[in-house]
Structure 1
Amino acid sequence: AQTGTGKTAAFLLACFQYLLDNPPDERRKATQPRASMLAPTRELAIQIHKDAEVLGRHTGFKLGLVFGGTGYDQQRKMLEDGIDILIGTPGRLIDYFKQNIFDLNAIQVMVLDEADRMFDLGFIKDIRYLMRRMPKPEQRLGMLFSATLSYRVTELAYEHMNEPELLKVETEQVTADRVVQTVYYPANDEKLPLLIGILRGIEEGRVMVFANTRAATDRVDRTLNANGIHAAAMSGRVPQKKRQTLLRRFHDGEIPVLVATDVAARGLHIPDVTHVINFDLPQDAEDYVHRIGRTARLGAKGEAISFACENYAFHLPEIEEFIGYAIPVEQASAEQMPEIERPPPPPKRDRGRGRGGRRPQGRGRDRRSRGSSAGGDPAPAGQKKRRRRRRKPRTAE
């Protein structure tokens, strides 16, 4: 099913009910979780944990959240103290697993969320590593969720699940009625003025702007703020703590515009996102569906605006074929193309030694000073080092 259809609540409620109906083995240890829920990103794992706390507050289950980038010792202690339901990302889980902090022998429920994204991010080997250390598929409940069902995802399901049943929600039933989609055809140098013009026309709401690269998110963020639009950029370069702060401020309405790469396009449930703007058209048609799925969640309405510029317009036919219809074209008005202030260039980052930075004086390898006299003193400045020619060995006549 596509994003925003309630997949998280579906597998959480199913997991809780299964664990309540099937008590664990009496020999189970505290460091043996009963359920494992794997997510491709930290943000998605955190969101699943928050939803689990709300939906499972009366079940008595101990929840554990594990992800990289922060809280290593705290998460380790939490696992050592014992949990019932383990939620996390594959990398950090494998780290603790190989240290024998916990094991997966008592797993009764296995959930894999955003399976297609696991492939995209290169986590599938980690997923298989963990699944092969759980009880056999016929001895546990397995649930796999994916916004798109590719051949790779189907193969994974049949490899690690016991004759799974397929439930599929068609794309048109999810997005067409509740998301108003439009596309503009700006030139590359018209995209920023058009974006600012559109944002100034939005009186209220939360807006997510998607770009394809970190450099583009930074440029858009700086330009918006230079023109009086409070925005923040979020990409894989942003540290975890700052990323969580940005999401909280966006959720609370302190930041009306969030500029992001696709790292934020999956699994984030931020209520009342009214507009999604594709500053860059995604290069993958599936990512288009994931992006616009940030709005119109759980029955709400939203608007998705895309820029088909010179660099990315050729991806539009693939997107329209994937969703099954042509996106209506909108013409930019004069009010939507204002004169804008250009932000100052960003400060140059000190790349450091070994990455283009200058070597500290006195520590570099100066080839001219490596030659020395018999006494070990360096050759005088300006004097060329004489190269000794090796004589060819004489051959017998």
Structure 2
Amino acid sequence: MKQTHLTETRFNNLELSDSILRSLNEAGFTFCSPIQDKALPLLLRDKDIAGQAQTGTGKTATFLLALFQHLLNDGQAEPDDEEDDDEYGDDDGHTHAKIIAPRASTPPKTKQNPRALVLAPTRELAIQIHKDALLLSKHLDLKFALVYGGTDYEKQREKIKSNVDIIIGTPGRVIDFYKQKIFSLDHIKATVMDEADRMFDLGFIKDIRYLLHRMPPPDQRLNMLFSATLSYKVTELAYEHMNNPVLIRIESEEVTSKAIAQSAFCPSNEQKLPLLIGILNQYQPLRSIIFVNTKRCAEQLDDTLNANGYKTAALSGDVPQDKRQRLLNDFQENRITLLIATDVAARGLHIADVSHVFNYDLPQDVEDYVHRIGRTARFGASGEAISFVCEQYAYSMPDIESYIGQKIPVKAITKDLLADIIIPAKRPRPPRPNGDRSKRSSKPYPPKAPPTTPENPQ
């Protein structure tokens, strides 16, 4: 998590507790980003917010800081100065401040947990939110449970049963544990819905409404919703389940960040691989993401780049969760320098210091272009996005340029950019589920039926 110097508003001028400010200071946060500057003063006065902001603009810190302060105001114990440095570790190895008495001005209260729920559309985003929450709550007496599908079922179940303050997770796994009565939603004091537009895209909206209907009424909790776009369906969700939310739109002159240098090449299909490797040879990026449109293309690209000396890994929707996390950790720690990903990874990945994003295949959805290139130039850094306008996906470029409101400069393909490459052997294709092809009938397919006409009705 890095600091973004975008406004003159300092965090220490906001109504935040000393313990929160201490965590912010140690994390290197001094000035607010635009979404923090607009939303935090309202949230700290218990006003609900529906905010529009792109990823990488500080919205995670926005809702976490407001959430923590709201729970503190509700009577949560806060470490005193003498015991701030005494900490203990829980079973998961997370560090929490030592349990101490509440403020003298606040009468002790019996905990009835969980008191807050943060919902995210993807495992990766939930994991990143949890990581940031631990950083920003370092000097607070708060316990978290991170829950998501695909792995660690019993471990997550036991963690929730240990009486945590805040649950951070994906809707499906949260509902699973709720229906088992592992926890109650009766005492929720604050809710967060992050990347609400993505919730709709992934079909989670019924799950979201299921959970919201089982919480205290909207006027009895602080509600926060964040989305890349405040579309009609997102604002409808906000007005239905929030308490007169204030809509905050962080508009910029451009849909994409000015810190991203965008460019494009127009290769033939046969030139794409030599051009990609030629650019990689010339730029030598330390950490880059290459986006493709299909799993098969990701596998072929993974094989080719590895054969040509690059450490890569392919990330697609059907990669098991444990392997997925291992690949992301290897990428973050530079054991892998190039991550090849389909659009399932375009959102929710919060990886620092990605210098280049390559659209090896142009996305077929214009919003996916923005989400893809937004993986670079995060938190005030600069980055570069290079797109291939190939024969197969060239039709997407006019729509992309119209959406982002600018022309993407096209560069010439020179001979020195077309590398000589090693073509690896093709991967063996997995057997078809209906058995060995050799055992199938060799009879020819039946002829097509004649067209339907008045004389030949079907």
Q: Compute the TM-score of the two structures, normalised by the length of structure 2.
A: 0.75
Q: Mean alpha-carbon deviation: is it higher for 45-54 or for 315-324?
A: 315-324
* Secondary structure at 1:212 match in 2: coil
Q: Distance in 2 between matches of 1:334 and 1:115?
A: 46
> Deviation of residue 350 (structure 1)?
3.9
> Deviation of residue 171 (structure 1)?
4.4
* Secondary structure at 1:294 match in 2: coil
- Paired residue for 1:185? 266
- Paired residue for 2:229? 148
> Deviation of residue 177 (structure 1)?
2.0
Q: Mean alpha-carbon deviation: is it higher for 81-90 or for 340-349?
A: 340-349
Larger radius of gyration: 1
- Paired residue for 2:159? 78
Q: Distance in 2 between matches of 1:243 and 1:56?
A: 27
Q: Distance in 2 between matches of 1:323 and 1:358?
A: 49
- Paired residue for 2:174? 93
Of 404, 413, 417, the match for 1:336: 417
- Paired residue for 2:331? 250
Residue 23 (1) aligns with residue 104 (2): no
Residue 357 (1) aligns with residue 438 (2): no
CA RMSD of aligned residues (A): 1.8
> Deviation of residue 64 (structure 1)?
0.6
Q: Deviations over 1:260-281 (max 9, x none)?
A: 0112211222111000001111
Q: Distance in 2 between matches of 1:176 and 1:62?
A: 35
Q: Deviations over 1:228-275 (max 9, x none)?
A: 111111111211111111111110111110000112211222111000
> What are the within-5 Å matches in structure 2 for residues 147-296 of structure 1?
147-172=228-253, 175-296=256-377
* 1:172–1:323 CA contact under 8 A, matched in 2: no
- Paired residue for 2:199? 118
Cα distance change, pair 171–288 in 1 and its aligned pair in 2 (3 A): farther
Q: Deviations over 1:120-147 (max 9, x none)?
A: 1111111111111111111111111111
Q: Mean alpha-carbon deviation: is it higher for 15-24 or for 122-131?
A: 15-24
* 2:55–2:374 CA contact under 8 A, matched in 1: yes
Q: Which amino acid aligns with 2:417?
A: Q
> Deviation of residue 314 (structure 1)?
1.2
Q: Distance in 2 between matches of 1:131 and 1:171?
A: 32
- Paired residue for 2:35? none
Q: Deviations over 1:270-303 (max 9, x none)?
A: 1110000011111111111111111000110000
Residue 10 (1) aligns with residue 88 (2): no
Q: Which amino acid aligns with 2:60?
A: T
Q: Compute the TM-score of the two structures, normalised by the length of structure 1.
A: 0.86
- Paired residue for 1:42? 123
Q: Distance in 2 between matches of 1:260 and 1:3?
A: 18
Q: Deviations over 1:203-243 (max 9, x none)?
A: 24211000111111111111111111111111112111111
* Secondary structure at 1:182 match in 2: strand
Of 361, 373, 379, the match for 1:298: 379
* 2:254–2:405 CA contact under 8 A, matched in 1: no
Q: Which amino acid aligns with 2:232?
A: Y
Q: How many residues align?
A: 355
Identity of aligned residues (%): 59
* 1:231–1:257 CA contact under 8 A, matched in 2: yes
Structure 1 unaligned blocks of 5 or more = 362-397
Structure 2 unaligned blocks of 5 or more = 1-52, 77-107, 440-458
Q: Deviations over 1:184-217 (max 9, x none)?
A: 1112222111111111112242110001111111
Q: Mean alpha-carbon deviation: is it higher for 166-175 or for 268-277?
A: 166-175
* 1:2–1:289 CA contact under 8 A, matched in 2: no
> Deviation of residue 93 (structure 1)?
0.7
Q: Distance in 1 between matches of 2:216 and 2:254?
A: 36
* Secondary structure at 1:201 match in 2: helix
